[in-house]
Amino acid sequence: MQVDVLTIFPHFFTGPFDHGVLSRARKAGVVSIETHDLRAFTQDRHRTVDDRPFGGGEGMVLKPEPIWNCLESLGLAPRPASAPAKQQVVLLSAQGARFTQAVAAELAVLDRVVLLCGRYEGIDERINELVCDRELSIGDYVLSGGELAAAVIIDAVVRLLPGVLGNPDSSRFESFGAGDPGEEYVPGSVPPSTHGSGGLLDYPHYTRPAEFRGVPVPQVLQGGDHVAIRRWRRQRALEKTFRNRPDLLQRAILTEADRKFLSVLEVQGRVENGGSS
């Protein structure tokens, strides 16, 4: 995959791409990440990239010319009549659609992703209309610019590329993953280390020592009953999602057993709240 980042702060990315999974993926040739300084595509001696907004108002707006010139140098402007299906230009802004694990999976099948980092009050909207394929936000809050969002999206997408993670199931069986919650352990087979999340948050994890500060690892995890372990993990994932992100339950893949367990949690919650409904 080729990733291009358009920004007025290219040195911002010196650190985030040089460690961990991203660094290994780059060294292995799985992904190539290039940053492009928008100031290098300006035409005036001051290398001006922003200007006051039409209609008045606070803040400044990124000018369209430097962005267009940069995209043009990459062969992305003007937008081809029949744009390659395997590439997308993505505008990062607070007004974008929410970036999710599902969107990361959509981007992970592309050959090229171009991330345009917004700044100040944003970019001239004509760039969005003329060349951008989608507009994304990493959350319901406002950042100083799109650089942090670009780093987040690149990390989330690259770890989904084949060969990046040591165990391919690591990205399948985790929070927001699409693993099948109905999978059952077949006695005699090698047990999966996890239970398909089906869109839920991940379950709690433990490692040695078996007891820490008086708190032991749950007994079920120390036994050899893989069916019981999978059931425990599924229930803990349901419980964590119920407590922290109940909105995810509305679109999660749930079994009948899941729904019964959630009903128990709802009753417990009412009791904890003094019996109020």
Specify whether 111 is located in the same domain as 150.
Answer: yes
pLDDT for the residue 142: 94
Specify whether 242 is located in the same domain as 209.
Answer: yes
Specify whether 151 is located in the same domain as 94.
Answer: yes
Domain membership of residue 84 (yes or no) is yes
26-30, 50-54, 179-183: least confident range: 179-183
CATH number at residue 37: 3.40.1280.10
| Model confidence band, residue 9 (pLDDT cutoffs 50, 70, 90) | very high
Mean pLDDT (whole number) for 222-227: 93
Model confidence at 176: pLDDT above 70: no
Model confidence at 138: pLDDT above 90: yes
Read off the pLDDT of residues 163-173 as tens digits, 9 standing for 90 and up: 998 666 555 55
Per residue, the 3-state secondary structure of the chain, as one string, reads CEEEEEECCHHHHHCHHHCHHHHHHHHCCCCEEEEEEHHHHCCCCCCCCEECCCCCCCCCEECHHHHHHHHHHCCCCCCCCCCCCCEEEEEEEEEEEECCHHHHHHHHCCCEEEEEECECCCECHHHHHHHCCEEEECCCCCCCECHHHHHHHHHHHHCCCCCCCCCHHHCCCCCCCCCCCCCCCCCCCCCCCCCCCCCCCCCCCCCCCCEECCEECCHHHHCCCHHHHHHHHHHHHHHHHHHHCHHHHHCCCCCHHHHHHHHHHHHHHHHHCCCCC
Specify whether 125 is located in the same domain as 55.
Answer: yes
Domain membership of residue 170 (yes or no) is no
Specify whether 84 is located in the same domain as 119.
Answer: yes
Work out how many domains the chain is built from and give that number.
Answer: 2
Mean pLDDT (whole number) for 236-260: 95
Specify whether 132 is located in the same domain as 10.
Answer: yes
Specify whether 191 is located in the same domain as 153.
Answer: no
Specify whether 10 is located in the same domain as 123.
Answer: yes
Model confidence at 187: pLDDT above 50: no
Expressed as residue numbers, the domain containing 89 is: 2-158
Specify whether 140 is located in the same domain as 194.
Answer: no
